[in-house]
Amino acid sequence: MSKKGRFILFLTFSSLTIGSLSAITEKIAKRTIDNFLPDSSQIIFFSRPGTITFISNDNKILQKLGPNSQEKIKAGEIPILVKKAFIAAEDRRFYKHNGVDLWAIGRALKTNLENKSIMEGGSTITQQLARIVFLNQNRTFERKLKEIALAYKLERQLSKEEILAQYINNVYLGSNAYGIADASWIYFSKSPSLLTLEEAALIAGLAPAPSIYSPLVNIDLAFQQRESVLQKMKLEGFISDKEFSKALNSPLNLKPAKPKFSKSKAPFFTTWVEQKLPNVISKEALEIGGLSIYTSLNLEWQNEAQQIIKTQSPEDSEGAIVSIEPSTGLVRVLVGGKDFEINEFNRATQALRSPGSTFKIFPYAAAIKKGFKPEDLLFDTPRCWYGYCPKNFGDLYLGEVSIVESFEKSLNTVAIDLLTKVGFKEVISIANKFGVGNDQNLGEYYPLAIGAYEETVLNMTAAYAGITNRGTFIEPNPIEKIIGPGNKVIWSRKLHGPKGQKVLSTEVADILNWMLQQVVKNGTGKIASIKGRQIAGKTGTSEGDRDLWFIGSVPQLTTGVWLGNDDNSSTNGGSSDAAIIWKKFIQKIEKDLSSINFPARPRS
């Protein structure tokens, strides 16, 4: 080969080698830099700091606390008009650059130098998205470099449509509106798909200074921004002269509304869950936010219960309903009053009320545990215990009576007689293990047997759920799981939730459930009976008819109903009113409850 040929071959080989090394070096450099940058997949699960979303057990949003109150719109579902408005307003060369637009930076620099002030920015939509999700708003050289590096990475790992959708879903648009769905609702009470040209232009024009340009803050500036965006849309050929003229001369037609999910669909329940969150996750996790709280609530049942309490409670009285799944302790329904907007006091979780005869389950449980049988006979006669002389309802006494019949008829004297036979400590111990009397200690006084001490509807219902669960008590819990930033499970009921505690033997619990069924078949709870279903329940009325109760179970659900007045005054009703409400509620939801039987009563 000639000298010239060898030289040409050398140049060719050298060029290929240098080119390959350059490409490899660039690839390694990109990969090295990428390793130091956050994973772009975080954007898909991004929620602004502080955001907490409550979700029902059928995946319906109950409420959102914090910045994001609307559901995000998928990339392929954002209206074209909205996309064009934001591109014209914020980044008209969006589809032409790779994350950073050097031409736009130069143009902005020239404009700012000519005006001797910052009149225009050069950040692309991709850069702004990187700033929203990964960075802060501090104007430092270091942050700008990170922003640029992240923008390039996003462009390499996400499509343009994904980037645009995430930006439009998360950009702050004033008046507590984060993203297009929020803004559409807050300013115009409609979804993004229904926005007109002038409305889309107005919203897109808010991004540079949302707190200043919001039409709810300054209408004149909002008009100016809308006009600017419309002009840019016309310049880009997105709209015709006719469309421009019509939109320019249209009124604002504002129809303000609160963020769609800021108002809870089940406020008594979600406020209670919010109070419990610090007990299951750290303060730091709550502050960082981005949490999805998957709750136990059955929203359809909750709505039925709320409506029944509102319409069926005695006119001047309040009411509460709690439903618990005995096998898991999950709270499926929690209604704390007739109307949360009128009075936020939660009578299901906060009100300490006398449980009346529903408390009798504990001395009877202690007696069965000690070896008494339902057929054993006791005497129901007027008696006094160290100066305490209880009376039966209507001053009626049956003389010799079986334990099960005394329970059916809710005889006060027999309940106290059993208390004396088994002892205070045993009754109090059983009540405590079922979650009753732990916040307010139960004293060794005879009125204890007939419900003189106060307890919440939630705790009394949970205790009965433990008996329905064949003697295994599970602390009531409203949370299935908590998903944090990056779609990471940070709490799960199955891993971290309350475990069951065996309080009574299965045999004792089965006898009690059989006795509770007799109350509904033959006794004070007969009005709660439903054809074709086995129901175990107990009525309760406190002194002076101040508290009216019925706590009843089908095998898979325990529901407690309470009626009364907030000032603890007497009602004009009886425990049958609570039993009727219980029955109406179960009849509303029984399509979701298969008809199954309790385990048979053990025979000795």
As given in the structure block, the two tokens for residue 439 are: 């916040």
Compute φ and ψ for 12, nearest 5 degrees. -65, -45
Beta bridge mates, 491:
482
Mark out the alpha helices in 277-389 (DSSP H runs).
Answer: 283-288, 299-312, 361-370
Q: Amino acid identity, residue 516? A: L
How many beta carbons lie within 10 A of that of residue 421, not counting itself?
14
Determine the pLDDT at residue 118: 47
Compute φ and ψ for 541, nearest 5 degrees. -140, 125
The domain spans of the chain are 74-248, 300-484+499-592
- Among candidates 180, 187, 185, 170, which has minimal Cα distance to 81? 180
The per-residue pLDDT for range 257-288, each reduced to its tens digit, is: 887 788 899 999 999 999 999 889 887 788 77
Label the pairing between strands 291-295 and 52-55. Answer: parallel
As given in the structure block, the two tokens for residue 28 are: 């390694």
Residues near 49 by beta carbon (within 8 Å), at least 6 away in sequence: 66, 67, 287, 288, 289, 290
**E strands present in 389-437:** 399-402
Residues near 114 by beta carbon (within 8 Å), at least 6 away in sequence: none
Length of the chain: 604
How many beta carbons lie within 10 A of that of residue 66, not counting itself?
18
Helix (H) or strand (E) holding 488: strand 488-492
Which of 3.40.710.10, 3.40.50.40, 3.40.50.880, 2.40.340.10 is the CATH number of 300-484+499-592? 3.40.710.10
Label the pairing between strands 291-295 and 318-325. Answer: unpaired
Residues near 376 by beta carbon (within 8 Å), at least 6 away in sequence: 402, 403
- 22: exposed, middle or buried (Cβ count in 10 Å: 0-12, 13-18, 19+): exposed
- Counting as low any pLDDT under 50, the low residues of the chain are 7-8, 10-36, 118-119, 137
Residue with tokens 């994001």: 68
Compute φ and ψ for 403, nearest 5 degrees. -60, -45
Yes or no: domain 74-248 corresponds to CATH 1.10.3810.10:
yes
Contact between 99 and 131 under an 8 Å Cβ cutoff? The reply is no
Q: CA-to-CA distance for 104 and 88, rounded, in angstroms?
A: 13
Residues near 164 by beta carbon (within 8 Å), at least 6 away in sequence: 75, 78, 83, 86, 87, 94, 125
Angle formed at CA 603 by CA 518 and CA 426, multiple of 5 degrees:
70
**E strands present in 205-314:** 291-295
Contact between 416 and 450 under an 8 Å Cβ cutoff? The reply is yes
Spatial strand order of the sheet with 291-295 comes to 61-65, 52-55, 291-295, 479-484, 488-492
The per-residue pLDDT for range 511-560, each reduced to its tens digit, is: 999 999 999 999 999 999 999 999 999 999 999 999 999 999 999 999 99
How many beta carbons lie within 10 A of that of residue 420, not counting itself?
12
- Among candidates 131, 91, 69, which has minimal Cα distance to 264? 69
Contact between 496 and 393 under an 8 Å Cβ cutoff? The reply is no
Residues near 382 by beta carbon (within 8 Å), at least 6 away in sequence: 389, 391, 397, 413
Contact between 34 and 477 under an 8 Å Cβ cutoff? The reply is no
As given in the structure block, the two tokens for residue 126 are: 């991709």
**The dihedral formed by the CA atoms of 101, 103, 107 and 112, expressed in degrees to the nearest 10:** 50
Count helices and strands in the chain by DSSP H and E runs: 22, 14
Contact between 546 and 568 under an 8 Å Cβ cutoff? The reply is yes
